Structure 1
């Protein structure tokens, strides 16, 4: 009987300690200013390797497979219309993965978990990535500014947007899903032809589906009056340099499938000088939203 009572007492003690630890953990989590990263399930290909084919031959064999087409367009930094005009193109040996595994950005970045939303554009790899609390949400190809009209680099914030507008460089160029990031310079991302290399007049060209996703993902600025910005939009970091005299960077994938990979440490280093400014503007936006909600 004594042995039974002893075992019962030990069980109760273990239960109480466990409950206490659980409550303490919940208290820590409730006091934390950082929300946990939402894990996104993605399918990884069994291998990453590439080979060359002619676009004509590939289309003849696989042209009706939209899933494969989306990946091959992204790998070659192009779109359906321009892909047909290409000669040799890079083809993945294993197509059984999600697009994210064929693009260079990391799936998670712990260092930016406090940033609600942010968009990156990589000049060297001609790709973009959108993150929410450190979790990759969208990624894909881009064609940025040509050599004589380079896209400016650094930190920007999204400003105004328009489903359809015309270019400030040429009013015959129609731009869809346009989101401005540098108002006075007239720079923004939008849907436009992707020839497979930096070709724009400093803007960030995207496939239409990607342009629409980023259009919906990012937030516009809030103005006190036409000349005064009250709340800035979503942070955007454009980084790196493109070697216009070298072969297309993604040709390196043929020898080394990881040649263009962007590490978490690299993104952390690129972002670090801007973190204070980003979090400051993020708080201003959150306070603005809270005030508006209270007034309703």
Structure 2
């Protein structure tokens, strides 16, 4: 009888040990042959926009955080600069999520095999982060001014720093900085968002967004100061801003869907760069497996 009890206890310990080991496995590791399901989601319908006097509208909101966030996103600004504006664009529905008011699609089928990728849209002054074709985060940005435009094309995140000093002015402190173009010193980081392209080629973000992307994107790995072992997260900056015209988001007053970016547009944008993106992604996975 005692022997039977001992055997049962041993088997129970082995079983629990196996279950514990299983729980420690990386839950988000996706094999190349794994079928990835993209959940189809829809944006909030019936959104219309109107121009409001900023101070009176802000007084009515009583600083409700979720409502202020939507107003900041729609006007491509931050809390400080929103309060400085004479007039702001305000949606009639304020109970949606941030992505309901911003132009990127909620899912992109052609990105199914891409683990992580970031997009920055110059004309709409917005960014979006996708994981295997699903939008996981989005927000406003203020990119390079006409005199110092942000370069467009495919980049990869490289080094990052919680706080660093601008190469343009040593009095400018950049928080949650993630560089994407090492030689030119271009990166995304927290800094003031006046509501239009105003930077010296970098991609400015609200602090909460800069912090999220700082943690979400991957750094490069170097063999030495001159040799890259693996690149970071792919970043595509695209489009042109109408510097001589009005702010593009003013079009929302007449047509709420005027700035929407379609799945097809993203697919066409990525298609010529896909081979390079997947090559670097595979290289990073192989390097991670060797560790």
> For the superposition of Structure 1 and Structure 2, which TM-score range results when normalised by the shorter chain?
0.7 to 0.9
Cα separation, 1, equivalents of 2:168 and 2:34: 42
Q: In structure 2, do the counterparts of structure 1 residues 148 and 32 end up closer, same or farther at CA, with 3 Å as the change threshold?
A: closer
> Equivalent residue for 2:226?
227
> Equivalent residue for 1:20?
none
> Equivalent residue for 1:254?
253
Per-residue deviation at 1:39? 3.6
Asked whether the 8 Å contact 1:221–1:230 carries over to 2, the reply is yes
**1:228-274, CA deviations, whole angstroms, 9 ceiling, x for partnerless residues?**
10100000000000000111000000000000000000000011110
> Equivalent residue for 1:183?
182
**Number of residue-to-residue matches in the alignment:** 262
> Equivalent residue for 1:245?
244
Cα separation, 1, equivalents of 2:31 and 2:282: 17
Q: In structure 2, do the counterparts of structure 1 residues 35 and 211 end up closer, same or farther at CA, with 3 Å as the change threshold?
A: farther
**1:156-189, CA deviations, whole angstroms, 9 ceiling, x for partnerless residues?**
0000000011101111100000000000000000
> Equivalent residue for 1:37?
37
Q: In structure 2, do the counterparts of structure 1 residues 236 and 186 end up closer, same or farther at CA, with 3 Å as the change threshold?
A: same
> Equivalent residue for 1:66?
65
Q: Secondary structure at the match of 1:70?
A: helix
**Which structure has greater helix proportion?**
1
1:288 pairs with 2:287: yes
Asked whether the 8 Å contact 1:82–1:194 carries over to 2, the reply is yes
> Equivalent residue for 1:140?
139
Q: Secondary structure at the match of 2:147?
A: helix
Per-residue deviation at 1:226? 1.2
Q: 1:78-97 to 2 correspondence within 5 Å?
A: 78-97=77-96
Cα separation, 2, equivalents of 1:181 and 1:74: 23
**1:76-123, CA deviations, whole angstroms, 9 ceiling, x for partnerless residues?**
000000011101110000112111010000000000110000000000
TM-score normalised by the chain length of structure 1: 0.86
> Equivalent residue for 1:17?
none
Asked whether the 8 Å contact 1:46–1:94 carries over to 2, the reply is no
> Equivalent residue for 1:160?
159
TM-score normalised by the chain length of structure 2: 0.87
Give ranges in structure 1 of 5+ residues lacking alignment.
1-29
Query: What's the C-alpha RMSD, in Å, of the aligned pairs?
Result: 1.5
